[in-house]
Each structure stands twice: as C-alpha cells, then as structure tokens.
Amino acid sequence: MNLTDRPRRLRTDGIRSLVAETSLDATDLMAPVFVDATTDERVPIESMPGHERVPVDEAAACVEEVRETGVEAVMVFGIPASKDAEGSRAWADDGVVQEAVRRISRETDAYVVTDVCLCEYTDHGHCGLLESDAREHANLTVDNDATLDLLARTARSHADAGADMVAPSGMMDGMVGALRRELDAAGFEDRAIMSYAAKYESAFYGPFRDAADGAPAFGDRRHYQMDPANAREALREVRLDVEQGADVLMVKPALPYLDIVRAVREEFDHPVAAYNVSGEYAMLHAAAEKGWLSLEETALESLLSIKRAGADLILTYFAEDVADHL
C-alpha cells in the first residue's frame, strides 16, 4: 500500500479552519422584519417559530435586537392597515413601511432594505394591478406596465423615509429600470437596488404568505414568477436587471436553487444574494421539533452551503439565531 495523497491529513482540528474554503459571518446575513399596522403588540408567526409581526412603535427596538446579534442589515416587510384593488397603502407617506423605516433609520444604525411589492397591499393578493378581465382570463393576471409606475412610487416613498436600498420582488418586466429612473429623478442616486432577479414560483413561500397576509385570492403567481423548470431563463432575467441598473442580484428560493446561485455567480460580477425563504426555515423547525434533526447544525450547514454555491449575502430567518451562535 503506497498512498501518497491523503486528504485526511488536512482534516485534523489544528488545520481544518486554515484550509476552509468558505466561511460564514454575521455580516453576511440580512434579517427579515415584519411590521404590522393592524396590531399594537407583537404577534408570533405560528409557521415561523421565533418570528413575530411587530407594531410600528416597536420596529426600531426589534431592529436593535437584530443588531445586537451582529447582523447589520434588515429587510422590512409591511402589513398595511387596509387593502384595496390598487394596493395604495404601498406608496402612502404614512404607510406602515414608511413609518417604520423613518423610525428605524432615525433610531438605529442598521442598513435598511425594503421589499417593494404590492401583494401585501392589494385586496386580491397579486403583485400588481389586475388586468380588467384577469379573473376570467387564464393567462394574464397582472398588468405589467401599469404596475411599474406604482412600484416606482412605492420605492421613492421608501427612499424618502430613509431606506438605504430597495428590493423589488414582483417579477414585473422592466421593474428595475422603472425604479432606477424614479429614484434618480427624485435625487436618490445614492440608494441601491437589490433585484429579486430570479424569483421562482415556489411552494416554499407558504409560511411567508401567512406571515405577511399576501396569498393571492384567486389563481397563482406562475404568470409572473419563474417556472422552477428553467435555469437558462434565470440568466436572461438577471441580465435584463443588470442592464437596467440593479446593484445586487438575488436568487430566490435558495436551497432548491443552488445551481442558479452558482450560475449567476459565474456569469456576473455583481454581488449575489440568496433568499433562504420561509419554507426552508419552517421545514427545519418542524423536523427539529419532532427530534428528527438538529436545528442549529442544519441551519448552519444550510447557510454555509448557500455561500459555497456563490452567494455573497443571505437573507434568512435564521439570521439572528445563527449569528448568535457564530
């Protein structure tokens, strides 16, 4: 037996971390925060253990708790006081996200990102204005071009409130360009755009839709979000967003789409974000609750794998817990 190449030599405790190819740091993580205009106390989100919807008054305190773990950035989602066909509370100056962001940016040092979409604000739960015959029409649910203007107004109002970065998540064609133009025209050239560039029509968003009360009242989102069968199309989607001025490119969900994370990493030089979504969080919690796997270890391994695949930053509901552990 003459074995010269023995990879096991580098797996002893003294050398393992020196030769580690990937590492995970609290500053790689971004924590989602849900601000709810319909409550004045914190409400636990049942399908996402450890997470809650917080009232506007507690938004800054909640972000401070995130910052204490070492996580520096948050993504703010809003649950409005009322909904209508257009989603007009999305761009209201006194809307839930606008009020929360004003306080968070005044009272904390967090880097504040806002989700820009209409699904939490429309009474039908779709991510934009409906085509007039959408309920009968099998294929067209959302009027793409009419929605762009509303998304742009929403993003400007978030910037006005103090958001550092806006993140359009509605998968409308041309949304990044529409936001960039509006922000620049309003003097917000310094605010960044993180595009949900390759966002799939995924069943892993289930718990989020409970949390943010944003499930579509009829139909589904497959006419605007991407088909899970497609990988080349993701590169095309991402390229369009790069051309329109996206600063950060997001792939969502993360774990079932690591091939896409890797492909985007290889094809583009922009920072790549991955969204470890609500279903990815909920399933580990459910299994851990049954005693079938270790929550801490599987969470850490998941996030490390997402980085190894090529993500620079990860949006995750595990942010605080994992950061505390790091």
Cβ atoms of 110 and 67 closer than 8 Å: yes
Q: How far is the CB of 250 from ligand PBG (least distance, A)?
A: 10
What phi, psi does 19 have (nearest 5°)?
Answer: -100, 5
Cβ atoms of 25 and 303 closer than 8 Å: no
Whether residue 290 lies in the annotated active site: no
The window from 39-47, 137-145, 207-215, 226-234 that contacts ligand PBG (CB under 6 A) reads 207-215
Beta-bridge partner residues of 33: 76
- Among residues 31, 79, 117, 176, the one that binds ligand PBG under rule CB under 6 A: 117
3-state secondary structure of 316: strand
Rule CB under 6 A: say whether 209 interacts with ligand PBG: yes
Cβ atoms of 116 and 179 closer than 8 Å: yes
Q: How far is the CB of 115 from ligand PBG (least distance, A)?
A: 5
- Among residues 58, 72, 115, 237, the one that binds ligand PBG under rule CB under 6 A: 115
Cβ atoms of 179 and 166 closer than 8 Å: yes
Q: 3-state DSSP helix/strand/coil percent for the chain, to nearest 5?
A: 40, 20, 40
Question: Residues in contact with ligand PBG, total (CB under 6 A)?
Answer: 12
Site string for ligand PBG, 158-187 (x = CB under 6 A): -----------xx-----------------
DSSP string of 63-90? HHHHHHTT--EEEEEEE-S--BSS-GGG
Q: How far is the CB of 209 from ligand PBG (least distance, A)?
A: 6
Q: How far is the CB of 274 from ligand PBG (least distance, A)?
A: 12
C-alpha distances out from residue 278 to 47, 163, 194, Å: 9, 23, 19
CB nearer ligand PBG, residue 32 or residue 55: 32
CB nearer ligand PBG, residue 214 or residue 219: 214
CB nearer ligand PBG, residue 88 or residue 278: 278
Catalytic residue (choose from 83, 199, 290, 307) = 199
Tokens 């560039």 identify what position? 197
- Among residues 121, 200, 205, 318, the one that binds ligand PBG under rule CB under 6 A: 205
What's the rounded Cα separation, in Å, for the pair 199 and 221? 11
Tokens 């990493």 identify what position? 265
- Among residues 278, 282, 299, 310, the one that binds ligand PBG under rule CB under 6 A: 278
Cβ atoms of 73 and 113 closer than 8 Å: yes
Rule CB under 6 A: say whether 119 interacts with ligand PBG: yes
- What is the set of active-site residues? 199, 252
Chain residues in the site for ligand PBG (CB under 6 A): 115, 117, 119, 127, 169-170, 205, 208-209, 214, 277-278
